[in-house]
Chain A
Amino acid sequence: MSAQTIQADAIGLVEVHTFQHGGPLVLQNGATLQNFELVYETYGQLNSARDNAILICHALSGHHHAAGRHHPDDAKPGWWDACIGPGKAIDTNQFFVLSLNNLGGCHGSTGPKTINPETGKAYGPDFPQVVVRDWVTSQAKLADHLGIETFAAVIGGSLGGMQAMQWAIEYPDRVRSCVIIAAAAKLSAQNIAFNEIARQAIVSDQNYLDGRYEEADKIPNRGLMLARMIGHVTYLSDDGMGNKFGREVKSGEFDQDESIEFQVESYLHYQGRAFSKYFDANTYMLMTHALDQFDPARGHAGDLAEALSAAQARFLVLSFSSDWRFSSQRSQEIIDALITARKNVASAVVESEHGHDSFLLPLTRYTTIMKTFLQRVLDEMREGGA
């Protein structure tokens, strides 16, 4: 019976596709990419009206592989498999789900590891600094390519939530609903500070070489590892860590290093080391800068409600009780601005001890809320309302 259950809500095998954009893309900082590629995956079927598509925007270290498996023997499914699948919160029986790796990423889309046509060498640190708005513009080109005029929902957590918000502002008539999870309208000083510490960890790695490590055939592993360890601590809560590790001494489950005494140290080393093997340092710098710079209210004298005034989407804003990296207060600022702007918005604060990472987990209340909201969006579409 358990095998059947797994079958019933698993997507199964998924394929990676590549979108090639032939023309130039002018970025917000004035730089131009002569062309670009985005890798993406899709789950579920696009209906004949082409109106049941959902766009998933990924966070700092995310990528296109959000659900399912590439090979039957993959150890783990995609990063948001808990929420995407048949009958799950983002139900692939009803929706066509699109997930991509953002521009500047290191999982196949055009980014620092791509060969710069002008030099014949990888861009490395010379890859132009993209911002959230550039991601949204490039995602819209992918949507055009797939024949998706309007998304039933644009959904994202953390940095992904910022992209979802930017979508609602930038393309009001292409977003029917917008789900912003554990995000903020702009980073707080504390949040930028954590990003800067993580960046400095990378910069001070002697293998970093001002970002030209690849040319020298080196990788700033230590720096990336440290950056991830710092990040990881901020993604968890004190209680969550306490319950998971307490003061237990290491078991050897994660790490064999003799200098490590506690289980939590061992876990952080393990997470940091794993990250440093698959993530690119230049992408990390670029993504964190994009996070820091996001502030849609900036062009409206700091008035977020004014920035959101063009949006037409129905919003759902979610946060988690123990998340201190993107706390409920930051979500409340978005909610208050949406109400001031007279937009349709619903919100919830989900009780969870797992901190910022909660948005990746299949917490019952969280998934129920998302499923209920998306079902309502679908009902309104069928009623011809909204």
Chain B
Amino acid sequence: MTLRGDLQLVQDLINPGARVLDLGCGDGALLDNLQRHKGVNGYGLDRDPVNINRCLASGVNVVQQDLDHGIGNFLDDSFDMVVMTNTLQAVKNPRTLLREMLRVGEECLVTFPNFGHWQCRLQIFLHGRMPVSAHLPHSWFDTPNIHLCTAQDFEQLCAAEGFRIIQRRMVNQAYRQQRLIALAPNFFSSYCFYRLGRP
């Protein structure tokens, strides 16, 4: 199975044999790959019945759980890595959840679309419209994304909370790194990956 571009990158950032908790695991593709290729012991949380069936069909350990109700049922330090891909912007309490992720896991890995990307800025600035793009395909009225942020916003939150940024990858719409992005990441990257550690 070929992985969605962002998941391929996430997989590269996870150590073999790690204990992984995947928040909003979707159809379980990431965990399925991690189990097959990296000997990872993983669990995924999702609330969508269709996703849960797909996970069951591929033998992924999926637990039906709504992230908006928190992850308080997981013990401190029970995972090496808590992953949340493309979901941060859709949860009710992103800050609380990030704190929780670093309680449960030694590290966490968060990916999300960068609202500071120049195309987003242009759509608001020039057209006066809410941005729609490859990473933000929804119209304002039916988007699940209620907490969009820019890479800079996110880093400010990390600084305020004392989260340590261990690794950062800023990519374009094809999930590739580019020289331009290095110049002004918050302007040229459309998607970001953050690997965080505790204060």
A residues near B, CB below 8 A?
314, 316, 332, 335-336, 339-340, 342, 344-349, 365, 368-369, 372-373, 375-376, 379-380
B134 sits at the interface (CB 8 A): no
Given A347-B63, A369-B56, verify A340-B73 contact (CB < 8 Å). Answer: no
B73 touching A346, Cβ below 8 Å: no
Q: Which residues of B contact A342 (CB under 8 A)?
A: 19, 41
Given A340-B75, A375-B57, A376-B57, verify A335-B52 contact (CB < 8 Å). Answer: no
B167 sits at the interface (CB 8 A): no
B96 sits at the interface (CB 8 A): no
Q: What separation, in Å, do the CA atoms of A185 and B119 have in the docked complex?
A: 53
Q: What separation, in Å, do the CA atoms of A368 and B59 have in the docked complex?
A: 15
Q: What separation, in Å, do the CA atoms of A335 and B56 have in the docked complex?
A: 15
B55 sits at the interface (CB 8 A): yes
Q: Which residues of A contact B78 (CB under 8 A)?
A: 339-340
Give the shortest distance, in Å, between B82 (CB) and chain A (any CB).
13
B177 sits at the interface (CB 8 A): no
Q: Which residues of B contact A379 (CB under 8 A)?
A: 59
**Minimum CB distance partner of A383 in chain B:** B59
A339 touching B57, Cβ below 8 Å: no
A sample of 19 inter-chain contacts (CB < 8 A) reads A316-B56, A332-B73, A336-B73, A339-B74, A339-B78, A340-B78, A342-B19, A344-B61, A346-B62, A348-B49, A348-B64, A365-B49, A369-B53, A369-B56, A372-B53, A372-B56, A372-B57, A376-B59, A380-B59
Per the 8 Å Cβ criterion, residues 14-31 of B in contact with A are 19
Q: Which residues of A contact B19 (CB under 8 A)?
A: 342
Q: What separation, in Å, do the CA atoms of A340 and B43 have in the docked complex?
A: 11
B63 touching A339, Cβ below 8 Å: yes
**Minimum CB distance partner of A375 in chain B:** B57
Q: Which residues of A contact B61 (CB under 8 A)?
A: 344-346
Q: What separation, in Å, do the CA atoms of A233 and B75 have in the docked complex?
A: 36
Instruction: State the main secondary structure of chain A at its contact with B.
Output: helix
Q: What separation, in Å, do the CA atoms of A189 and B55 have in the docked complex?
A: 35
User: Hey, what's the 0/1 contact readout for B58-73 against A, CB within 8 Å counting as 1?
Assistant: 1111111000000001
**Minimum CB distance partner of B19 in chain A:** A342
Q: Which residues of B contact A369 (CB under 8 A)?
A: 52-53, 56
Q: Which residues of B contact A368 (CB under 8 A)?
A: 53
Q: What separation, in Å, do the CA atoms of A344 and B43 have in the docked complex?
A: 8
Per the 8 Å Cβ criterion, residues 61-105 of B in contact with A are 61-64, 73-75, 78
Q: Max chain A CB contacts within 10 Å: which of B19, B49, B55, B75?
A: B49
List of 5 A-B pairs having minimum Cβ-Cβ separation, nearest first? A372-B56, A348-B64, A347-B63, A346-B62, A336-B73
**Minimum CB distance partner of A335 in chain B:** B63
**Minimum CB distance partner of A386 in chain B:** B59
Q: Max chain A CB contacts within 10 Å: which of B49, B64, B78?
A: B64
Q: Which residues of A contact B75 (CB under 8 A)?
A: 340
B55 touching A346, Cβ below 8 Å: yes
Q: Which residues of A contact B58 (CB under 8 A)?
A: 376
Give the shortest distance, in Å, between B117 (CB) and chain A (any CB).
37
Q: Which residues of B contact A340 (CB under 8 A)?
A: 75, 78
Q: Which residues of B contact A349 (CB under 8 A)?
A: 64
Q: What separation, in Å, do the CA atoms of A368 and B49 have in the docked complex?
A: 10
Given A336-B73, A342-B41, verify A347-B62 contact (CB < 8 Å). Answer: yes
Q: Which residues of B contact A346 (CB under 8 A)?
A: 52, 55-56, 60-63
Q: Max chain A CB contacts within 10 Å: which of B41, B63, B74?
A: B63
